């Protein structure tokens, strides 16, 4: 009997219509595509002929976009600038059904924009050659925003905090929301780029291995024993219900109190097309599965499938329930459990 696979499919059936809150830093991800034409006469650099510029939701906006494509009802809490990037982000998300009334527009803040320039010859796949980040000169004050959200925690079935360091979400806000959500059994899951060590008593944190190494000031590399010691220490010190560490082509490892770490091999091939935004997809599916009553391991396995799907797509990508279902049904790994 394929108990794990059948259990994952049952959880997938509950995805539709879940009320999810995504709070954090909204980012505009731009992808500028060009064809290599020649080497410049002015300097030893390539000259690219412009082909197209695509702009898609990134950061917390990408996590929300993933949840929308999985059939959820999504509310977004954030601060954006009163600029073109912020306006377009909100337009795209609202058009897909997101509730954006908790998004504050600020004249003193610039919406972060990350522009990736990709180049390729006529018959080759484009490769990223440089990234240009336009970041706000100052972080934002989101105190009033979080005062409102803390009192509305019971309105949601799952809460994601996406902290890219621009000020829309932080450890203090996470602590307040987690305290309000704890008695209601609402999962609060955090993805923090630069300060994961400051978050405590939330349901889970989902760092990649590089973020974990930076937070702990060590190099783990492929040392499994060291990863297990560090993961258990973080779990206990920060009083988490679970810790999910993503490791790129090596899969992910789940830590829970009083349980052995569970390593989940990467789904699909390790020859990826683009890892941009994969962490946003992972936290979206992981939190959504927890909100549907999944165990931490079930949620991690679904998140692993989701991450494996989106890294095979170009750019900042999302996935559908049908894609996720097909992956669960066809992969033999979980069917044997």
Sheet containing strand 188-192, strands side by side: 99-106, 73-81, 19-24, 158-163, 188-192, 204-205, 242-246, 252-255, 262-264
Q: Token pair for residue 69?
A: 């494509």
Q: Token pair for residue 76?
A: 């977004």
Going through 193-288 in order, the beta strands assigned E by DSSP cover 204-205, 242-246, 252-255, 262-264
Residues 113, 133 contacting (CB under 8 angstroms): yes
CA distances from 123 to 1, 119, 120 (A): 47, 11, 8
Spatial separation of the C-alpha atoms in residues 56 and 54, rounded to whole Å: 7
Is 280 one of the catalytic residues? yes
Catalytic residue (choose from 25, 280, 322, 334)? 280
- Name residues whose C-beta falls within 8 Å of residue 115's C-beta, 6 or more positions apart in sequence: 30, 31, 32, 131, 132, 133, 134
Residues with a known catalytic role:
280
């Amino acid at each position: 009997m394929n108990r794990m696979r059948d259990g994952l499919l049952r959880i997938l059936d509950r995805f539709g219509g879940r009320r999810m809150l995504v709070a954090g830093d909204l980012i505009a991800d731009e992808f500028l595509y060009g064809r290599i034409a020649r080497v410049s006469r002015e300097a030893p650099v390539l000259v690219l002929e412009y082909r197209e510029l695509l702009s898609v939701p990134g950061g917390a906006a990408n996590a929300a976009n993933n949840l929308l494509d999985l059939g959820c009802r999504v509310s977004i809490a954030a601060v954006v600038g009163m600029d073109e990037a912020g306006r377009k982000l909100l337009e795209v998300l609202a058009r897909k059904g997101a509730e954006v009334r908790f998004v504050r527009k600020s004249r003193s803040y610039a919406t972060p924009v990350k522009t990736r320039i990709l180049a390729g010859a006529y018959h080759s796949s484009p490769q990223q050659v440089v990234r240009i980040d336009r970041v706000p000169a100052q972080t934002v004050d989101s105190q009033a925003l979080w005062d409102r959200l803390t009192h509305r925690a019971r309105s949601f079935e799952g809460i994601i905090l996406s902290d890219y360091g621009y000020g829309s979400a932080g450890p203090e806000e996470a602590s307040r929301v987690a305290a309000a959500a704890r008695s209601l059994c609402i999962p609060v899951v955090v993805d923090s780029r630069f300060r994961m060590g400051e978050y405590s008593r939330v349901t889970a944190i989902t760092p990649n291995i590089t973020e974990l190494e930076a937070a702990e000031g060590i190099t783990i590399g492929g040392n499994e024993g060291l990863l297990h010691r560090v993961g258990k220490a973080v779990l206990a010190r920060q009083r988490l219900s679970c810790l999910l560490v993503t490791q790129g082509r090596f899969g992910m490892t789940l830590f829970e109190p009083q349980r052995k770490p569970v390593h989940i091999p990467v789904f699909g091939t390790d020859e990826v097309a683009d890892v941009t935004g994969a962490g946003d997809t992972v936290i979206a599916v992981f939190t959504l599965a927890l909100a549907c009553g999944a165990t931490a391991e079930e949620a991690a396995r679904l998140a692993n499938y989701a991450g494996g799907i989106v890294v095979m797509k170009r750019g900042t990508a999302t996935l559908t329930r049908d894609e996720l279902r097909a992956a669960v049904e066809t992969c033999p790994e979980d069917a044997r459990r």
